Structure 1
Amino acid sequence: MPPFDIDAAVAALLDARRTGTRLDVLPEGARPGSEAQAYAVQDAVVRALGPVAGWKVGAPSATATPARAALNADTIFETETLPASLFHLIGAEAEIAYRFGRDLPPEAGPYDRDAVLAAVETLHPAIEIADTRFTVFGAVDPHSQRADQQNHGVLVLGPGLRDWRHLDPVTQAVRLAIDGTVLHEKVGGNSAVDPVRLLVWLANEGARSLGGLKAGQVVTTGSCTGTDFVTAPTRIAAEFPGLGSVALAIG
């Protein structure tokens, strides 16, 4: 078997981002065959794009190993409007995001739940837009999707709440509306069940290859409402009673 061509994978994904040209698949010989190879591609792409400003992390169940993607500043926003030209696809997700107030360097770990939460400064209602550098969302293998920043488009943050420790994300209510129509209204809703477990994994393992979690970085912890694909123009609104709300108009 020929060696995995990480340089070709990185070049293809960077070119897709810079030109807007979509990939049917990664080039032959450049498709990651393992989690380690997928993360190596993801890390190389994010380093080429600039400093790590945040993370997304999620898991398909309460016991599954989480997956993560490092995020650059150019896809993290605190705004109410974005142009449709930023997107190939628009997959709306309501999420809870944590902004860290101090570093959690890997060499100082391992960190338990209390230590990770003690480093959190603010909690935010958030909208993540799922997108892809591939032609068809979800059509390529899972490792290629992981390499492609785990289908990240943009992250839009609502106002940060400093007095958040009384909130329990497992029992947090959430409402997602598209163009004024409520599509989801539920309690909890995260497939990982407890987002804090994801933060602990990220601090101890997931962020290690990129220097760990750092002050100022924001971590979004997976959709509480699933993914709803919509077309522009559209207005997406996510409300988390007690935490706050965030809205995004795309046009």
Structure 2
Amino acid sequence: MATDLAAAAAALLEARRSRRWLAALPEGARPATQEEAVAIQALVAEALGPVGGWKVGAATPQATPSGAPLYASNLRFDSTPFAAADFNITGIEAEIGFRLGADLPPRETPYSREEVMAAVASLHPTIEIVDTRFTALNCTDALSHVADQVNHGALVVGPALESWRHIDPPNEPVRLTFNDEVAVEHVGGNTAGEPTRLLQWLANEGTLGLGGLKAGMVVTTGSCTGLLLVKPGTRVRASFRNAGTVETAIV
């Protein structure tokens, strides 16, 4: 029996609307493949869009990446606080993002690394707020969590760095603080390694179902600090030695 992708999308949309979190997707509506999970993402995005960016990551520098669309309504370009009540959970990850200055539409010939890099206008420090429409992280099968926007809640995008080619993300020092107390401080930390291949994968494969990458979109490329849950009343600051600083708060 074919997976009921529309029923999966409807369940996720209803959970967002009603805040009645899911223990699992309905029987017959749970994705059996990565392709089905991505198709569910696209159905939800069609209802909640427009798409303002993407998240992308990989388990290792050699692993096939995976990603999810980010809705423009959940992108924030300043330090305005978030209400904890707007989320199910509030997980925090410090990441490095890129903003596109040119379109990379779907095409038959794959984009080269050089073409993708030429389309990047700026590098940004980012904070991803991790959330879930399920009762908890990892409470159901992994593909269902992929279908649920790979556990995305919101993205805070820090100041643009237009001269960024000298930055080496896998070796970039990062410090994450909560209420001025250091939670994480180390070098690198992103399991995906160099983000260039992640952007190239998005341009050539990961965004095809939603029209490719477009100028103005922000792409965040995976956690440099791991996931840490925070409580209301937490001020969050992510500082990269060369990539800049971004701040927000959960109130």
Pair in the same fold by TM > 0.5: yes
Partner of 1:111: 111
- Could you tell me how far 1:108 is from its partner in structure 2? 6.0
Partner of 2:156: 156
- Could you tell me how far 1:79 is from its partner in structure 2? 2.5
Partner of 2:246: 246
State the TM-score, normalizing by the size of structure 2: 0.97
Deviations 1:7-48 (A, max 9, x none): 110110011111211011001111111111101100110011
My pick for the range that moved more, 149-158 or 17-26, is 17-26
2:61 matches 1:53: no
Partner of 1:140: 140
The residue identity in structure 2 corresponding to 1:131 is D
- Could you tell me how far 1:135 is from its partner in structure 2? 0.4
Q: What 5-or-longer segments of structure 2 have no aligned partner?
A: none
State the TM-score, normalizing by the size of structure 1: 0.97
The percentage of aligned residue pairs carrying the same residue is: 53
Q: 1:155, 1:109 → 2: CA distance? A: 31
Q: 1:170, 1:89 → 2: CA distance? A: 28
Q: Secondary structure of the residue that 1:53 maps to in structure 2? A: strand
Q: 2:47, 2:109 → 1: CA distance? A: 27
Deviations 1:99-142 (A, max 9, x none): 00000112164112111111000110000011100001111111
Could you say what the CA RMSD is over the residues aligned between the two structures, in angstroms?
1.0
Q: 2:153, 2:89 → 1: CA distance? A: 8
The total of aligned residue pairs comes to 250
Q: Secondary structure of the residue that 1:33 maps to in structure 2? A: coil
The residue identity in structure 2 corresponding to 1:215 is A
Partner of 1:12: 11
My pick for the range that moved more, 17-26 or 105-114, is 105-114
The residue identity in structure 2 corresponding to 1:145 is H
Partner of 1:171: 171
**Where do 1:209-248 residues align within 5 Å?**
209-248=209-248
The residue identity in structure 1 corresponding to 2:93 is E
My pick for the range that moved more, 7-16 or 75-84, is 75-84
Q: 2:148, 2:234 → 1: CA distance? A: 25
Partner of 1:67: 66
